[in-house]
Structure 1
Amino acid sequence: MPTPRRQVLKSLAATLLAPAFARAQAPAAPVKLAMVESLSGPFANTGEAVYRNLLWAVERVNQRGGIKLPGGARPLALERYDSKGQPEEALAALRSAIDDGAQVVLQGNSSAVAAVLVDAVAKQNERDPRRGVLYLNYSAVDPVLTNERCSFWHFRFDAHADMRMAALVQVLRDDQSVRSCYLIGQDYSFGQAVLREARRQLGVQRPDVQIVGDELHPLGRVKDFLPYAAKIKASGASAVITGNWGNDLTLLVKAAREVGYDGKFYTFYGNALGAPAALGEAGVGRVIAVADWLPNLPTARSEAFYQSFRQRFPRPQDDYVHMRMQLMIEALAQSIEKAGSTAIVPVARALEQAQVTLAGQAGTMRAADHQFQQALVVGQMDRVGAPGVRFDVEGSGYGFRVVRVIAPQNAELPTTCRMVRPT
């Protein structure tokens, strides 16, 4: 029988060991990711579509055991913050995310929002490095974000506007049916950059093409695009070039159909979020879109990737999958593991060197400006079942046949970035 002294010692040991045992049994603290996006207002559908992509990517990492770190594996946790598509709201969302312990901010739908986040993240990391964050951008494609306004804390995983335009014009250059173009875009930094680069590239690649319209409209505030569509038709333009996205694109192409415009649309985002359904038969053979990946890319691994997304999100209206968002989360997971830490400077340095592959698609982060380098594809809208169109978009009956693949080395453009790195 134990003596009273031994009983006291055993009780004391149990008391001292209990917290350590509880910590060992407790779930590992997650690495918090904060998605800052429009979840209300005119572009809410774009935010929800992005969330599905990011959620799927995070689930894939967690299903294989999470992030492997020296102290044990840690899961990723994705949290949502509504920016309402406004820079001021995005800043408030960023502050909330940091207060909630987020270590990585994810945003992309709006270059205007991206610009304020780049500055705000840099100031946060300088002012309070213990609560520093990295900013991963999957869609904000104003070229200045990885040129004049590049930041060590910002990484872009989409091709910027000039890269996308170069890919589109490669196809337009060979399309001799296009004799005149109408340029239309959203009136903010990204839309202005698209139109500026369209003018420049047409001057170089197709100087014979006449620009018969050049117009900017308010972002997210136009409810009736019929007056714009009427001007496009009246101009006699054989093609429209636009970087419009979300409802601004869907309403534009719907109005064009209603006025009977029969020219082509060269778009950045005409392959999703209601645009194909809005055009219907009027878009067959006439809508061209550039992307980092398309579901009808003719490879077995690409098809399996797309099919697995459709199994996860079976509703036709949820059909909006982007390879770049998957590669982005894979690159982040890889970089945290390589750094052996969630500290933002080691992770950023590892992310600068990231090389990632998924479902046969590959990409590399360029350290000079933090612009991801990957292949681009250009597709043309057609009926599902037509040659090269096995999968449609959002249950519309229309999909995109791949007509051009641009290798990463051919999609790459020089940068003017002068990166300032922490010492």
Structure 2
Amino acid sequence: MAPSTFTRRHFARIATWAVAGLALSRQALAQNQKPALKGQVVKIAVIEPLSGLMGSVGTSLLKSYQYLAEQFSASNPAGVRFEIVGFDNKLSPSETLGALKSAMDQDIRFIAQGTGSAPALALINAIEKHNQRNPGKEVLYLNHAATDPELTGSNCSYWHFRFEADTAMKMEALTSFIKDRPMVKKVYLINQNYSSGIQIAEAAKVGLRDKRPDITIVGDDRHPLAQIRDFAPYMAKVRASGADTIITGSWGTDLSLLIKAAEESGWKGSFYTYYAVVAGTPTALRQVDDNRVFQVAYSHYNMGGQMNVWMKEFQKRFNEDFYTHGVALVFELLSKSIHQAQSAEVIRVAEQMEGAKFKGFNGLVEMRKSDHQLQQPLFVTVWTSVSAQVPYSAEGTGKTFAPVREFTAEEVSRPSTCRMSRP
């Protein structure tokens, strides 16, 4: 009896010690993980045009990343610290590839870009090849603004995540809004002559045909990107056509100069735009009458909440508007994914990012797993005077974009055509 009792007690003690030892091991592992992330520097290369005609757009974006890197470094669930490194691509795909190489040579694994779909496509192709050839040294592309639908369609990549709504999603919202505006009868399309601009024009034709077949498209012009200094000839054609509406996806100085030419020509029609908040354009809109310019976007000036706090502080610090709000969604998802992965290794972070759902500043959003296209609400806003309800003054003009209609993510979602290869 004694040996048997001793044996049972002996093994009971061993089992107790083993369980305690396992618990201590797990605790030690958790403790070891936290210091490994806490304070770890995560570098993000921001590749944008920092010079040339669109330089103001790129430098504003760089400031947005730098500002939000400070905010999220101060508070994020992973405890990491974000560091931003800027690269000038001069809006050129070849310069973009040079910047990518420089970033990778500096061991930067997270690449952010959004100004221009041609540079975006160059990044997708280059990163796809690099990651196939260099397992363990993968690079991730965070796209905050390039909107060509094919970037998450036929050219989709596991290593590319888009935080902006694509051109088709935006046009679905815009044409749904126009459907209920009987004053729109004759539409002139003016867009930049590259993939995104071409697709905006085609999407407008399809959307208007399906929702408002009575509308006549009286013109369809495409102009070179960031090369036109005087849009008076284009506005002469608009006036001659009898158009009461312009639909345009043009942005930056191109849109600012188009609006300037419209005002100088005396044209009193309406603009339906994608990018009227981009640096410099609100100033060009200063003298434009209320209720003539509309924009479709995933955000607007008067969102309220934390976004309102960031916008006020950014404007005070830099004396310019913070308008690329999608950068906040980039940091939000990246922070959460690093925390969930307990690692800043690209391949582990990407696993957490795809399919993720979280509440962003603009509502519930989802990074769709099938194509890495963020599903999110869209807002149609109108240019109007500031008021107690919409107090944010765009570029100090005393005017703002006020929301007039919101579309849910489900209402603007488009089917996925991506055939993604996963590692």
TM-score range, shorter chain: 0.7 to 0.9
How far, CA to CA, are the matches of 2:368 and 2:289 in structure 1? 36
RMSD after superposition: 1.8
Q: Tell me the CA shift for residue 355 of structure 1.
A: 2.1
Q: Tell me the CA shift for residue 388 of structure 1.
A: 4.0
Q: Determine helix, strand or coil for the equivalent of 1:322.
A: coil
Question: Contact 1:173 / 1:205 at 8 angstroms: preserved in 2?
Answer: yes
Alignment counterpart, residue 296 of structure 2, candidates 283, 290, 298? 290
Q: Determine helix, strand or coil for the equivalent of 2:316.
A: coil
- 2:50 aligns with 39
- 1:179 aligns with 185
Distance change (3 Å), C-alpha of 1:203 and 1:394: same
Distance change (3 Å), C-alpha of 1:307 and 1:61: closer
How far, CA to CA, are the matches of 1:223 and 1:312 in structure 2? 30
Give matches, 1:2-401, under 5 Å. 28-64=39-75, 68=78, 73-297=79-303, 302-314=304-316, 317-359=319-361, 361-385=363-387, 388-401=389-402
Distance change (3 Å), C-alpha of 1:259 and 1:366: same
Question: Contact 1:379 / 1:403 at 8 angstroms: preserved in 2?
Answer: yes
Question: Contact 1:148 / 1:418 at 8 angstroms: preserved in 2?
Answer: yes
Number of aligned pairs?
A: 388
Question: Contact 1:334 / 1:354 at 8 angstroms: preserved in 2?
Answer: no
Q: Tell me the CA shift for residue 402 of structure 1.
A: 0.5
* Cα displacement string for residues 181-225 of structure 1 (whole angstroms, at most 9, x for unaligned residues): 000100001111100111111110111110110011101111111
Letter in 2 for 1:363: V
Question: Contact 1:61 / 1:67 at 8 angstroms: preserved in 2?
Answer: no
Letter in 2 for 1:255: A
Q: Tell me the CA shift for residue 415 of structure 1.
A: 1.3
Letter in 2 for 1:382: T
Question: Contact 1:393 / 1:399 at 8 angstroms: preserved in 2?
Answer: yes
| TM-score (normalizing by structure 1) | 0.88
Structure 1, gaps ≥5 residues long: 1-23
Question: Contact 1:296 / 1:303 at 8 angstroms: preserved in 2?
Answer: no
How far, CA to CA, are the matches of 2:41 and 2:221 in structure 1? 47
Letter in 2 for 1:279: L
Q: Tell me the CA shift for residue 315 of structure 1.
A: 5.8
How far, CA to CA, are the matches of 1:389 and 1:272 in structure 2? 19
- 2:29 aligns with none
Question: Contact 1:107 / 1:136 at 8 angstroms: preserved in 2?
Answer: yes
Question: Contact 1:138 / 1:156 at 8 angstroms: preserved in 2?
Answer: yes
Question: Contact 1:98 / 1:131 at 8 angstroms: preserved in 2?
Answer: no
Structure 2, gaps ≥5 residues long: 1-34
- 1:421 aligns with 422
How far, CA to CA, are the matches of 1:170 and 1:54 in structure 2? 33
Letter in 2 for 1:401: A
Deviates more, 1:244-253 or 1:359-368: 359-368
* Cα displacement string for residues 135-161 of structure 1 (whole angstroms, at most 9, x for unaligned residues): 010100000001111100000000000
How far, CA to CA, are the matches of 2:362 and 2:374 in structure 1? 16
How far, CA to CA, are the matches of 1:45 and 1:390 in structure 2? 25
Deviates more, 1:279-288 or 1:35-44: 279-288
How far, CA to CA, are the matches of 1:188 and 1:28 in structure 2? 42
Question: Contact 1:134 / 1:154 at 8 angstroms: preserved in 2?
Answer: yes
Distance change (3 Å), C-alpha of 1:349 and 1:218: same
Distance change (3 Å), C-alpha of 1:316 and 1:288: farther
- 2:22 aligns with none
Q: Tell me the CA shift for residue 325 of structure 1.
A: 1.4
How far, CA to CA, are the matches of 1:139 and 1:273 in structure 2? 14
How far, CA to CA, are the matches of 1:174 and 1:293 in structure 2? 22
Letter in 2 for 1:34: A
Q: Determine helix, strand or coil for the equivalent of 1:245.
A: coil
Letter in 2 for 1:133: V
Question: Contact 2:377 / 2:409 at 8 angstroms: preserved in 1?
Answer: yes
Q: Tell me the CA shift for residue 361 of structure 1.
A: 3.0
- 2:24 aligns with none
Question: Contact 2:247 / 2:272 at 8 angstroms: preserved in 1?
Answer: yes
Q: Determine helix, strand or coil for the equivalent of 1:262.
A: coil
Question: Contact 2:57 / 2:278 at 8 angstroms: preserved in 1?
Answer: no
Deviates more, 1:253-262 or 1:341-350: 341-350
How far, CA to CA, are the matches of 1:360 and 1:373 in structure 2? 11
Q: Tell me the CA shift for residue 105 of structure 1.
A: 0.2
Q: Determine helix, strand or coil for the equivalent of 1:314.
A: helix
Q: Determine helix, strand or coil for the equivalent of 1:320.
A: coil
How far, CA to CA, are the matches of 1:47 and 1:33 in structure 2? 15
Question: Contact 1:29 / 1:75 at 8 angstroms: preserved in 2?
Answer: yes
Q: Determine helix, strand or coil for the equivalent of 1:34.
A: strand
How far, CA to CA, are the matches of 1:207 and 1:170 in structure 2? 13
Task: Indicate the percent of aligned positions where both proteins have the same amino acid.
Answer: 38
